[in-house]
Amino acid sequence: MTNAMPNPTTSEHYFTAHTSARLTFVIGVVIGMSVMTLSGIGFFTYVFSGGEIQSYAIAPLDTDSQILTEPIKQITEQDQTVIAEPNASQVVGATENYTVTLVQYLDYECRFCKKFFPDVLALTTSHSDTVRLVIKHYPLVQIHPQAKAASLAAVCAAEQNKLVDYSTKLYERQDQLADMTVFETVASELALNLEEFNSCRTADATVAQVEADALEAQQLGVQTQPNLVIVWANGDQELIDGYVNADYLASALGF
């Protein structure tokens, strides 16, 4: 009986194929671990060398705690920006002889704005003889994909003197903003002229207004949502860049 001799060529091919597979796997694991290690080192180096990671707080809406460690920032004279005078449809509260102007740049997808806007509105209404509230827009489009469309719709509601009512309803339906029909639905509920409303939403002037509001907010140092710029009668400007509760807000304004 003759023993079959192994085919050298076949054996070589088998060994080479399996070795290549094993080697490829090992190399892949090593590269993956190296990338993860370098990424981690880079992150901690960046943070501990003074770098900051841009973040936006998300917390339960039933919180009553003040989440900012330094809620009010003085806007230095060199950073102060001339805030564009609003039209009448953007103003709530006092129209003359006011001692303080509050400027809020809204984002309709911001969860904390949904809580903060009614607080600011209530305070303004309670002190409507001395407080003027100006409503503007700053949609954070990088993290809130529907916010700009909502701002455009709100600007057009303002054209028909329904900015506050429209804003309130958008916040109430915040979880429906991905459905673009919600903007017209709310407009119908407020008895707006739909032809004018829809034409306005795509107008260049409307887009320009939202973009101008956002640029103004950035120039004032606004970095997140919600926010509130406080302009005192002497021209001093202060910024609340984040959420504070209603009691803190009233106290900060001297009420």
By mean pLDDT, which of 24-38, 105-119, 171-185 is the weakest? 24-38
- As a whole number, mean pLDDT of residues 125-136 equals 97
Please tell me whether the overall predicted TM-score, pTM, comes out greater than 0.85 for this model.
no
CA atoms within 13 A on the CB side of 91: 17
Residue 148: what residue type? K
What pLDDT was estimated at residue 82?
Answer: 82
Contact 97, 65 (CB under 8 A): no
What pLDDT was estimated at residue 59?
Answer: 34
What pLDDT was estimated at residue 74?
Answer: 78
Contact 113, 171 (CB under 8 A): yes
pLDDT bracket for residue 32 (50, 70, 90):
low
- pLDDT, one tens digit per residue, over 50-77 is 333 233 333 334 444 445 545 788 787 7
- As a whole number, mean pLDDT of residues 207-232 equals 94
* CATH, domain range 72-252: 3.40.30.10
**Residue bearing the bigger pLDDT, 107 or 41:** 107
For the chain, domain boundaries: 8-47, 72-252
Whether the pLDDT of residue 3 is over 60: the answer is: no
By mean pLDDT, which of 17-21, 89-93, 124-128, 192-196 is the weakest? 17-21
Q: Count CB atoms within 10 A of the CB of residue 9.
A: 8
CA-to-CA dists, residue 123 to 37, 93, 167, 251, angstroms:
51, 10, 16, 11
- As a whole number, mean pLDDT of residues 1-29 equals 44
The two three-digit tokens of residue 115, written as one number: 């809580």
